[in-house]
Chain A
Amino acid sequence: AQKVTQAQTEISVVEKEDVTLDCVYETRDTTYYLFWYKQPPSGELVFLIRRNSFDEQNEISGRYSWNFQKSTSSFNFTITASQVVDSAVYFCALSEARTGANNLFFGTGTRLTVIP
């Protein structure tokens, strides 16, 4: 069965600190996709990144970076030099190519608060 675990329910950091949000997933498929979404207070989910199971290269986009490790089934997200605008709930999600349904299995989210 598919499962996404975000063990950190809430994290608070002071502005300019680095913070890492953890995501651990379970799947029996060899082809799958991992995602991170940001949900700011406005409520709209914002797509951040999509990663397929065959690409383990880490990715950096500005202050954001992602560390995908199949050996530990983890897809962690790091924000460098955090800013108040980073305050949001962050969701990790998994989809499997097997069924073709392409629906996303979401973790329960991590609420990040950046304190000025």
Chain B
Amino acid sequence: GAGVSQSPSNKVTEKGKDVELRCDPISGHTALYWYRQRLGQGLEFLIYFQGNSAPDKSGLPSDRFSAERTGESVSTLTIQRTQQEDSAVYLCASSPPLFTDTQYFGPGTRLTVL
């Protein structure tokens, strides 16, 4: 498809387990962003990639959160030892190289930690 895709769309896990969330940006978009949206709230910035490097990791809430990106394409957000407060929708966005301030969002992954 032409848009940003994310998988899985829904993930239910038990507290303490690790989870991996995947984002496929729009082809040709060099910038990629991860956000978290808790129920009924706005978006919290987590991390930003320009190419494969992450110049801004300021939003990662703890060292249990990490992200990587390979080949200026797919990115994975990993949450280790999940906690109930990690339950949220995780949104990925990408932006083109010449218009870096307009971000196009994927449908999100809804994570539920039991």
Q: What is the interface of chain A mostly: helix, strand, loop, or mixed?
A: loop
- Bound state CA distance, A101 and B101, in angstroms? 9
A43 in complex: contacting residue of B56, B59, B95, B107, CB < 8 Å? B107
> Is A104 an interface residue, CB under 8 A from the partner?
yes
Of the residues A99, A102, A106, A109, contact of B31 by C-beta under 8 Å? A102
Per the 8 Å Cβ criterion, residues 78-116 of A in contact with B are 91, 93, 95, 97, 99-109
Q: In the complex, what residue of chain B is closest to A50 when comparing beta carbons?
A: B102
| A105 B45 Cβ-Cβ under 8 A | yes
Instruction: From B45, B56, B107, B110, give the contact of A44 (CB < 8 A).
Output: B107
> Among A33, A35, A45, A106, which residue has the most Cβ atoms of chain B within 10 A?
A45
Please, how many angstroms separate the alpha-carbon atoms of A106 and B45 in the complex? 9
- A42 CB within 8 Å of chain B: yes
* Contact A50:B101 (CB < 8 A) given known A100-B55, A104-B45: yes
Q: How far is the CA of A104 from the CA of B104 in the complex (A)?
A: 12
Residues of A contacting B56 with CB < 8 Å? 99, 101, 103
Please count how many residues in chain A sit with their CB below 8 Å of the partner chain's CB atoms. Answer: 25
| Chain B binding surface, main DSSP class | strand
The answer to whether B55 and A44 have CB atoms under 8 Å apart is: no
Complex Cα gap A104–B45 (Å): 7
The answer to the question of A37 belonging to the interface, with a C-beta cut-off of 8 Å to chain B, is yes
Min Cβ gap B53→A in Å is: 12
Which B residues are within 8 Å of any A CB, using their own CB?
A: 31, 33, 41-43, 45, 48, 55-56, 59, 89, 91, 93, 95, 100-108, 110
Known pairs A43-B89, A43-B107, A95-B101 / 11 extra A-B pairs, C-beta < 8 Å? A42-B107, A44-B106, A45-B93, A50-B101, A50-B102, A101-B48, A101-B56, A103-B33, A103-B48, A104-B103, A109-B41
